[in-house]
Chain A
Amino acid sequence: GQQVMQIPQYQHVQEGEDFTTYCNSSTTLSNIQWYKQRPGGHPVFLIQLVKSGEVKKQKRLTFQFGEAKKNSSLHITATQTTDVGTYFCAGNNNDMRFGAGTRLTVKP
């Protein structure tokens, strides 16, 4: 069945440094969604990518969907302490499969 792998598992950065998390699916996806979950909280929707090669930006966050619609990335420029949390990708192909997440910590 469909599997979604996400790396790295953890990332610790100094405030102001950049951060990237990568997501790979074993099958072609209809779309991919990204979520952020703060410690003790619930996943909050960030964005959905649908088209092959699509790139979307939200302020310091850049999301990419691969040409084959099997991989995706989230890049954060100049991290801030408010970026702390776990970032999940979720691949959608009949059902929704979440990656294990990348836990980001930011040192002030």
Chain B
Amino acid sequence: DAGVTQSPTHLIKTRGQHVTLRCSPISGHKSVSWYQQVLGQGPQFIFQYYEKEERGRGNFPDRFSARQFPNYSSELNVNALLLGDSALYLCASSPGLLKETQYFGPGTRLLVL
């Protein structure tokens, strides 16, 4: 079985632009969570989606949004990019709600210039 996949692997954007990151969970997993990991820090929780509904939201501005599709894949959107949005964006899937084991994807490394 394939693990969690994310695309793209790397991305370079300029300030003010918009970005869409994509994630496909492990087959059979219904929950997807998004994290931001700045270099040298631990992952910070952005969103959790379960059965296409938002189930949790971290302390991030409204420029960050996400959605989950009927096939349980997910997109993370970030508008009006700032330099500080440069980070590794990780997607994690789990069979059910957040309290279960999470399997992380390889991440998308975003650089905002």
Contact = CB atoms under 8 A, between A and B. Distances in A.
Interface of A: 1, 4, 6, 30-31, 33, 35, 41-45, 48, 88, 90, 92, 94-101
Contacts, number: 52
B102 A33 contact: yes
B107 A42 contact: yes
Interface string B71-112: 000000000000000001010000000110111111100000
Contacts of B44: 98
- The B contact surface, by secondary structure, is loop
B99 A98 contact: no
Q: Quick one: which of A6, A35, A43 has the most chain B CB within 10 A?
A: A43
A4 B28 CA distance: 31
Contacts of A98: 35, 42-45
B90 A42 contact: yes
Interface residues of B, number: 23
Contacts of B24: none
B104 A43 contact: yes
Interface string B37-66: 000111111001000000010110000000
A1 B103 CA distance: 25
Interface of B: 33, 35, 40-45, 48, 56, 58-59, 88, 90, 98-99, 101-107
Nearest to A97: B45
- The A contact surface, by secondary structure, is strand
A33 B89 CA distance: 20
Contacts of A88: 42-43
